[in-house]
Every structure is written in structure tokens, then in C-alpha cells.
Amino acid sequence: MRHCARVRSLRSAASLLLNVTDAESFSPVLASLRFSYARTLGRNDQAALGLGGLAVTTAIARGPGALRALVVTISQNGPPVREVIATVADRLARRAPHVLWLLGVISPAKHLALAAWSLIAFRHAPRRS
């Protein structure tokens, strides 16, 4: 399959990412990657994915085929971004292994982390560095 999306300049990509403060402001980033608008998940949906209590808000967006994006906004007093990424990735890989995930984690300190993984990576323990 041929990739047909245009490539953004570094400046254009940086300006998109600099404006991210929550799931709503992450929507232009998702749109540029051909994902739909992210819808907020309720507590029951968060619990079904094993994410209960980890996030202030969680939103999900559909991408082409099996691609999905999950955007997690964490609280100021929550665990570090790195820990949230490892925990969420582990839970998604176990509960929804048939989906190809893009994970965005946003903290109030204006930190944004993006992560993607393959199932092969989860045959071994997640690497935390």
C-alpha cells in the first residue's frame, strides 16, 4: 500500500504540537495523521480498557483500518508521563491486541508524549528507559 499523505515541514509539525494542551487541541494533530475527531471516553469505557483512575480525560479517535489513537490527559499530581505510557501501552496490548495504537499523553506541565508499539514488543516486558 502506498503512503499518500503529504509530509509536513518541521516548522509546521512543531506549530501543531506546540498548541496541544488537551484532547481537543490534539485534534489537528490527529487530523493531519488521517484520524477522525477524538471522542471522550466515559468511565465505563475507560474501565473496559483498564484505564480507570489513570487519567483526567481519555479520548479515542478512529484512523484508517485498524489504527486507533488514544489521547490521555493526566493530572498534575498523577504519575510521571513515562509511567503512564508504559502502563497504558501494556493494558491496551493486553485488552485490545488486534488494534494498532497511537498513544498521546498530555500533562498539565505542557509535556506531550507520543508512543506506538507492535505486539512483538509485548512478548517481552515493556522497556522503560
Distance, CA of 97 to chain centre: 15
pLDDT tens across 32-86, in order? 889 999 999 999 999 988 888 888 899 999 999 999 999 999 988 888 899 999 9
pTM to 2 decimals? 0.82
Residue-averaged pLDDT of the chain: 85
Residue ranges covered by each domain of the chain: 10-123
Strands (E), the chain: 39-40, 57-62, 67-73, 100-106, 112-116
pLDDT tens across 84-122, in order? 999 999 999 888 888 999 999 999 877 889 999 876 655
- Whether the pLDDT of residue 6 is over 70: the answer is no
Share of residues in the chain with pLDDT > 90 (%):
43
Q: Which helix (H) or strand (E) holds 44?
A: helix 43-48
Pick the CATH number of 10-123 from 2.30.30, 1.20.120, 1.10.3470, 3.30.300: 3.30.300
